[in-house]
Structures are given as C-alpha cells and as structure tokens.
Structure 1
Amino acid sequence: MKILQCWDDGVVSDARLVDLLRRHGAKATFSLNPGLYQNNRSFGWLSEGREIWRLGLQELPAVYQGFEICSHSMTHPYLTDLDGSRLDWEIRASRDLLEQLFSRPVTGFCYPFNAYNDPVLSAVRSAGYHWGRGKREGLHRFPPVDPLEFSPTCRVLDPEFWRKYEGAKKTGGGFFFWGHSYELSTEALWDDFERRIERISSDGDTEWSFIGDLFEPPLMPI
C-alpha cells in the first residue's frame, strides 16, 4: 500500500519534522507559500496562544532537501474568493518562485484551506499542474479520478487514524494523511507521531511515496 503525507505552510517546526522523517526513511510532500517568507525566520500567526513562525526564505532548500515540494499559492488566501489576474498570480507565480528557489519543476498544488471550486480548478489545470490536494465530501478515492481533486484520507491527528489506515490496507488502496507540524504542540504528540512513523515504516505491506510519483514519471528528490 502506498503511504503519502503532506505538510503545509513551511513553519519552523518543519525542521524538527524532517529530521524525524529522515531517521525513518519516510517520504513527504511540503506545500509552501513563497510570497509569505522573509529572508530570515519571521512571525506568522498565533495558534491557541502559541506563536507560529515561518522559516526563512534562504534556508528552505536545505531544510527540505530530499523531500517533494508543491505550491500552496503565493499568500494563502481563499482562492474561491478570487478571480482573474489575482487568482492566476497566486497559482502561477508561486510555482515560478519555488522552481527558481529549488531549481527543479514543481508540479503539485495544495489548495489553501483545502478550498476550491470549478473556477479555481480550471485555473490550476490551465497552469499545467499535474495534481492538486483539496477536500470535497465523498471524493476520497485512491488514486483519484481527477488528479487535481486528490482528497486525503485524514488529518494527522485524526482519532480514527489507525482505523482508517487498516481500512485502506483491506481495500488495497492507499493511505494519505496531511497536517501542519505546529499541530504537534507537545512532546507527547511528537513521541506519538514518531511511533506512528516507525510503525508504518516497519510495515512490510506499505511503501512511502511522493504524491507526484503517482501522476508522472518519478523525479529525483530535491
């Protein structure tokens, strides 16, 4: 069974996350907003009273070396509220900047807030992306009918995580989870997450995969 994971927003705690994933040979995709980074680490927002900081622009290639990168738009708006040149800029310029920064093609798109509609879908398709991660009720299929409407199985902290994992194994499909590393807000949550990665990596019936590998000839990781 293919195992996919996708992490959003390029925050400082991703540095700890990628070290953990490397220890266990786990592949992952990271969705980034290049229009929001500064040269040095910068404050992003508050989450449950905690400050969430973004990584610095210049450190991104080193932090994510060996992992897949996709666009999460330039500035993380609700794309469903946009149209015309602003929508096109969020979708196309973000890819162009990420490709310049990482010196490789960026072929996937993650819809901010997992929100999209037909005009957004059309704009992403027109821009030439190979796949898109979003969520619409009833659309979870593995692989998806339309690669631009790839709905994950669950979030990383879903209390039904293991039930859904075992269910995916029984159906012979794949298992796709997503989240933000800042959600791992305590040492207990980090420890529990590492045990999950260890369990998946040691499962002989599973294989870690980059999302893009499902929809195109495999590319060398960054």
Structure 2
Amino acid sequence: MKHPLLLTLLCTVAGATQAQYTEQEIGQIAAEYLVENPQFLLEASKNLQEIAQNKAMAEQIDQVLVQKEALINNDTPFIGNAKGNIAIIKFFDYQCGYCGVMAEHMKSLVKENNDVKVYLKETPIFGARSEPSLLAAEWAMEIFTKKGNQAYENFHNALWHAAKNNGNQLSNDLIKDQVEKAGLAFEDDTKFMTQTPQENVRLFSQLGFRGTPALIVMPTEGANKDNVSVIAGADIDEVRKAIEKAQS
C-alpha cells in the first residue's frame, strides 16, 4: 500500500495527522488508495447498506410496538391457539401467490407449536386494480363478523384451495361459491359491516411494508425491541427463528 497512514487519516483526520496534509492531498491519497484497493469501497458500501437496513428495521420495530393494540386484538381473525403466548401477525392478499404458500406453512406451524396464535390481517393491496382481491377480503371479514372465527377459518382455507385448483387465479365466481357455502347470500356490491381490510392496508403502509406476505412475530406480553421480529416475504425458516427469539 503506497500510503499506510491513509486509514488513520480517513478515520480520524485530526491533530498532527491532519496538519501534515492539505484537503486536496487527502483527497488524492484517498483516490489512489481506492484505485489500488477497490475491495475497500465494496466493503464500505456493504457496511453502509447494512447499517441503513438495521436502522430501518429498528424504526419499523418501534412502529410495531406503538401499534401493538391494532395488531393484536379480538377484532382480528386467527388460526392456532386462542390463548397462545406467541403472536404471528400476517398481512396478506388472496391474489398473492406467495401468500398462498405461507398460508400452508402457517397451518403446519400451528400444528407444530401449540403456543402460537396467527392473526390474519386481510390486506387487499391489489384491490385498486383487481376486484376479486378486495371482494375476497371484504367477504372474509363479513363472514368473521357474522359467523365467527371458525367459519372464517373454513372460508379462508377453502378460498386458498379453490384458487390453487384454478391455476392460482381468484375470481368472483370462486368467492361467490365459498360465501354461499358459509351460509351468506353473495352480492358483487353490498354494504359490508366492517372497513377492516381498508384499515389493514393503512396499517400495513404505516408500518413500512411494501409487499405481501408481511409478518410480525412477537410475544403477546412483554414485547420489546429485542424480542420482536419483522419478516418480509414467504420465509418460514425466518419465522421459526423469530418464534425462538420471541420465546427467549
């Protein structure tokens, strides 16, 4: 290395060391060093990116803690143990293929771990351009409100299954069929009892999520920045790690 004092100069730039070089000379030294050692720039970029990601994650977890009551409440349908000490909050859209994958994982997960309660947040982020996306979410919450959690769970699972058998394509006809099986009269345009799906979309955005599935894992009591995890995407291994973290 042509200038062994470079790292000291770049890190401290202070006292006698600073006095030995002009600003222009320091700039020239830095430029020469980076040409000779491009891996330093790549490593610095990686470190800066990691710092930014960690900062963003910390801020997101802070928002999760602020919004805990909106995330964990009796107005949200669920699967798993009603009294489970570990909450998994799942934001999803029925038009999202990866959400369907996670739906299967969640069913397996609650069988593996009887301390888990999965809160299902109907979040039709594709609703603006896909009528079935919003319609499915609204009817799901209508069934939950009028028929209860078990009827909701049946509808939820049956709709994923029907869509999968239809090439992962959701349609009004598929929704209609499952709504009627739940014991309600289907209409394309009706006045629903709740605005929960729209509220979930707003909460989803406030928490900084951009795509579904989006998951939060946290203890139902004593949640803090050290035992809360935020997971973007269909990564069941990360969910399992997050459960262990929430239990510690």
TM-score, normalised on structure 1?
Answer: 0.31
Higher helix share: 2
Q: Please identify which structure carries the higher strand content.
A: 1
Larger Rg, first or second structure (1 or 2): 2
More RCO (CA 8 Å, sep 6+): 1
